[in-house]
Amino acid sequence: MKRYLFFVGLIVFFSSSSSIDRFNIADKPKNVLFIVVDDLSTTLSCYGAEGVITPNVDKLSNRGVKFERAYCQASLCNPSRASIMTGRRPDNLRILSNEPHFRGIHPKIITLPEHFKANGYHTVGIGKIFHNWGQALQGDPQSWSEPETNHWATHYSDWYIKERPYQIHSDIKKGPAVQYADVPDEAYLDGRIADAAVNKLRQLKETPFFMAVGLWKPHLPYNAPKKYWDLYDRNKLPELRYPQPINGVPDLAYVDSNEARSYTDVPKQGELSLDKKLELRHGYLAAISYMDAQVGKILDELDRLDLTNKTTIVFLSDHGYHAGEHGQFGKWTNFEVGTRVPLIISSPEIKHLNNATNSIVELVDLYPTLIDLHRLPKPKEYGKLDGISLKPILKNTNHTVKSYAISQISRPLGSGENFDILGSTIRDKDHRYTIWTNRTRNEIIGEEFYDLSNDIMKVENQIINPKFSHSKQELNRKLAEILRQ
């Protein structure tokens, strides 16, 4: 009898253990919805941007953890997106410009969606996920379970409604920087991307998926249906803290609105008029609200399909952006506004909602974070990743996983490693230090140091202030330690 009870006990024990294992497996997030938008700074209501209308991203922020100090690794599309999707720094990838495609240098590297695909997930890319020049027009087929929905690769006129076509190549004249036709959302590209995402969610509702959705807005041109422009009064736009370039900052730090000047209605040189600046800023805010509406459509469908409580949702921008700040319109800078990005993560594993954290994180951390959250086996290259899992912060927003964030950008915008000057910046809890180096002469040609301890957006170059000499030396040493020399 005792032997019988012993075996019954073993059966109950192992049955219980098995049940626990099955529960844990079933309880982990089933899907990933990875929403990446283009050229969005933290100009969102949930990040404290007054007068900016973004109810859907705000709602997502209430569902999860908002990272107040998240930083890109390059304020330019190709190096940033390659870094995000491979978990490697641009310096490690040797990609600091808009060309080449990362596969040209690292043909066997395993991307984030590719690793999910290898572990049983159906992976889908809709819109702009990787960059969109040259080879990248083909996307990255091995990352996905089905061909990408590359709207931009097949419809070069999709930026505008039909009567104002657009050519994507830089050697062909572009159209105007703004357009606000009275049309439905789907008349512009992001509306169609959102519709494609909604339809794909319906198809995959019973299948574990990794769906990446890349929305173009608020990237130039600032095109959005008129109803989003009508949300803002151009004479009462939110004020800019620094409407002009800052004295004492090296000229290298700025780009003179070169991206905006490539459009037909923006002067090629000279200071932009106040009216033009207001029009462009108005367009940027309208494009943000249009983007927000598309995010809302996708999240609403996730709710309708009862998938929200089974899905890790990540919302991010590929890098920051100047929309009038410092008198600039464009990216490609190492300032806080150029490198700081919105990042929100919502997951079934997060117990406390509507949380924010001031812990420093980097976009390169997303690769190991999603592997960790979904309990996937680590890829063979895991030890080569430059990021750190953010799961401890998701569990406790007071936790920290790193003390520094690093970004890099080139001057001029070259191809591959064909550029003269490299700007590298490091951000710790209280300071930002930036160094500009002539690569040919191996010579420092510019430095910046900002005290952000009391004001995260303060721009006053303290590089010659002896008060910060020790902090500068420490950040210089750490920057050299982390980056490839």
- 77 catalytic? Reply is yes
Cα 185 to Cα 198: distance, rounded to the nearest angstrom: 14
Would you say 222 and 284 are in contact if contact means Cβ atoms under 8 Å apart? yes
Would you say 419 and 428 are in contact if contact means Cβ atoms under 8 Å apart? no
Between the alpha carbon of residue 278 and those of residues 243, 329, 372, the distances in Å are 11, 11, 44
- Please tell me which residue in 101, 131, 326, 374 is annotated as part of the active site: 131
- Please tell me which residue in 46, 77, 101, 431 is annotated as part of the active site: 77
Question: Which helix (H) or strand (E) segment is 410 a member of?
Answer: strand 405-411
Between the alpha carbon of residue 271 and those of residues 237, 242, 284, 338, 358, the distances in Å are 20, 15, 19, 20, 36
Would you say 109 and 86 are in contact if contact means Cβ atoms under 8 Å apart? yes
Strands (E), 24-64: 31-37
Two tokens, residue 84: 């995000």
Per DSSP, 257 falls in state: T
Q: Is 443 exposed, middle or buried (0-12, 13-18, 19+ CB in 10 A)?
A: exposed
Q: Which residues, including other chains, have CB under 8 Å from residue 424's CB and lie 6 or more apart? A: 334, 406, 407, 408, 434, 435, 437, 479, 483
Cα 331 to Cα 327: distance, rounded to the nearest angstrom: 12
Cα 376 to Cα 16: distance, rounded to the nearest angstrom: 24
- 46 catalytic? Reply is no
Cα 288 to Cα 150: distance, rounded to the nearest angstrom: 21
Cα 376 to Cα 116: distance, rounded to the nearest angstrom: 8
* Buried/exposed 188-215: b ≥16 CB within 10 Å, e otherwise: bbbbbbbbbbbebbeebbeebbbbbbbb
Provide DSSP, 167-222. Answer: --STTS----SEE--S--GGGSHHHHHHHHHHHHHHHTTTS-EEEEEEE-TTSSSE
Cα 314 to Cα 64: distance, rounded to the nearest angstrom: 10
Percentages of the chain per state (helix, strand, coil), in multiples of 5: 40, 20, 45
Residues 292, 333, 254, 51, CA torsion sign: positive
Residues with catalytic roles: 77, 131
